[in-house]
Chains A and B, each alone.
Chain A
Amino acid sequence: MLILENEIMDDICIKFESEVNETGTDTLSTELMEHQKKCSRCGRYFETVKHLEEAMKYEVPLRKEPSEVAARVIEMMKTRVSINWQLPLVSFSLSVSILMFYIWGVFSPVNLVTDPGNNNNTEKTYLTFQAVPVSSENIKVPGNFSPYKSLAQVLKKDEGIK
């Protein structure tokens, strides 16, 4: 008889512990509350959980307010998102700029042309006009015109080279 009663008590104790673990100490049924008053094991379990619940509510004085940290993180993430949007735009603009610069370089009216000399020891570098400037359409350049000849004349004048 005593063994049977012990088994029944064991079942109630297991049910009690399970119920306390799942719902806490505030919402226990009347039957289980009555049981914990009679059963020392469950009474101690109940008291332990009460102490745990109280201990878990304990808060230390904060050094830093978590809400400020959260707000800062949110702000930071928003900035990062806007940067993510801007990045493709910036890189596209850069690519277009480089392409435009290249096109301008290729089709620009003035080019520097390097021409190896007759005996490969000298190089001539001179300007070529790929397009005739609008304002100089009526000017005729002599066939034997050389900028070097003009330069030599100027140098002769200035430095007195004979």
Chain B
Amino acid sequence: MSLSNSARLEKMITEESRKFYFVAFRILGDQDMAMDAFQNSCVNALRSVDKFRGDSSLSTWFYTILINSCRKQLSVWNRLGRIFSHTDLEQFSSSEEDDGEDAEKLKLVMDEVGRLSSRQKEAMILRYSEGLSIRDISIVMGCSEGTVKSHINRGVTAVRTRLFPDSEESVDMAARACDAKLH
């Protein structure tokens, strides 16, 4: 016997609460704000589960509500630009002492992601953290698939420029010309 949408939703938000919470945390960069956003999303989802028509999966529908909650939190607190607090980064760095270079690179990545626009951040988090398809991300973010691809591409390019400061487009072109000559 299949479960009702309400029962499925309850099961999902209980079992996958950690996953949803961390999406909010990565967008907002603050544990308390993330918990508020997650809690609000649960309330809103449970209240409006009757309106779920099954056009997308239940988790995609919940991500939409979660992302909207995060956007509301951001507009209220006006804390755009933060993805991880410095304390969190220090905690992370100290736990990765064995491989200092990698930790340093990850720190750079997090710092750069924190500087991206909120839309780019959302697209990248849903893609690389949650593994959502471009189509699902476009549903969650309420924009076209092309826009999602553009957000992700610009985000990755910004992070790449930070990780590899010498990888300017001209340098790349020269490298490619060399590669072409070699092969």
By a beta-carbon cutoff of 8 Å, the part of chain A in contact with chain B is 2, 5-6, 9, 13, 17-18, 21-22, 24, 38-41, 44-45, 47-49, 51-67, 69-71, 73-74, 76-77
Contact count band on B:
35 or more
Shortest C-beta distance, A1 to chain B (Å), equals: 9
B175 engages A21 (CB within 8 Å):
no
Extra pairs beyond A52-B124, A55-B106, A70-B38 (18, CB < 8 Å): A2-B181, A13-B176, A22-B134, A39-B175, A40-B175, A41-B175, A48-B160, A51-B109, A52-B113, A56-B129, A58-B92, A58-B106, A59-B22, A66-B18, A66-B21, A67-B17, A67-B18, A74-B14
* B163 within 8 Å of A (CB atoms): yes
Task: Tell me the complex Cα distance, A48–B25, Å.
Answer: 22
Task: Tell me the complex Cα distance, A55–B111, Å.
Answer: 10
A24 engages B128 (CB within 8 Å):
yes
Partner of B156, one of A21, A55, A65: A21
9 contacts between A and B (CB under 8 A): A6-B180, A41-B175, A48-B159, A52-B156, A55-B110, A60-B84, A69-B39, A74-B14, A77-B46
B43 engages A73 (CB within 8 Å):
yes
Q: A67-B14, A73-B42 are in contact. Are A52 and B20 (CB under 8 A)?
A: no
By a beta-carbon cutoff of 8 Å, the part of chain B in contact with chain A is 10, 13-15, 17-18, 20-22, 25-26, 31-32, 35, 38-39, 42-43, 46-47, 84, 88, 91-92, 105-106, 109-110, 113, 124-125, 127-129, 131, 133-134, 149, 152-153, 156, 159-160, 163-164, 167, 172-173, 175-177, 179-181, 183
A44 engages B179 (CB within 8 Å):
no
B35 engages A69 (CB within 8 Å):
yes
Shortest C-beta distance, B154 to chain A (Å), equals: 11
Q: Which residues of A contact B176 (CB under 8 A)?
A: 6, 9, 13, 39-41
Task: Tell me the complex Cα distance, A76–B63, Å.
Answer: 21
Task: Tell me the complex Cα distance, A70–B42, Å.
Answer: 7
Q: Which residues of A contact B10 (CB under 8 A)?
A: 74
A24 engages B14 (CB within 8 Å):
no
A48 (CB) vs chain B CBs: closest residue = B160
A67 (CB) vs chain B CBs: closest residue = B17
Partner of A66, one of B17, B88, B125, B127: B17
Q: Which residues of B contact A2 (CB under 8 A)?
A: 177, 180-181
Partner of B31, one of A17, A54, A62: A62
Partner of A9, one of B113, B159, B180: B180
Q: Which residues of A contact B181 (CB under 8 A)?
A: 2
B35 engages A60 (CB within 8 Å):
no
Q: A21-B127, A77-B43 are in contact. Are A69 and B17 (CB under 8 A)?
A: yes
- 10 tightest A-B contacts by CB? A56-B129, A66-B17, A66-B21, A48-B160, A73-B42, A41-B172, A40-B175, A5-B180, A67-B17, A70-B17
A73 engages B39 (CB within 8 Å):
yes
